[in-house]
Amino acid sequence: MGLWRGKSPLILASQSSARKMLLANAGLEFIAITADIDERGVQAASKLSSPRDIGLLLAREKAKAVSANHPGSHVIGADQTLAFGERLFNKPAGRAQAMAQLRDLAGNCHELNSAVAVAHDGKIVFEEVSVARMTMRQMSEAELSAYLDAAGDAVTTSVGAYQLEGLGIHLFERIEGDHFTILGLPLLPLLAFLRSEQLIAV
Catalytic residues: 79
186-199 as b/e, with b when 16 or more CB fall inside 10 Å?
bbeebbebbeeeeb
SS3 state at 20 = helix
- Look up residue 161 and give its DSSP letter: G
Euclidean distance between CA atoms 38 and 41, whole angstroms: 5
Distance (Å, rounded) from C-alpha 191 to C-alpha 186? Answer: 9
CA gap 52, 130 in Å, rounded: 9
> Furthest-apart CA pair in the chain: how many Å?
54
d(CA 183, CA 148): 20
Of 73, 70, 52, 58, the closest CA to residue 16 belongs to 58
What Rg value do the Cα atoms of the chain yield, rounded?
17
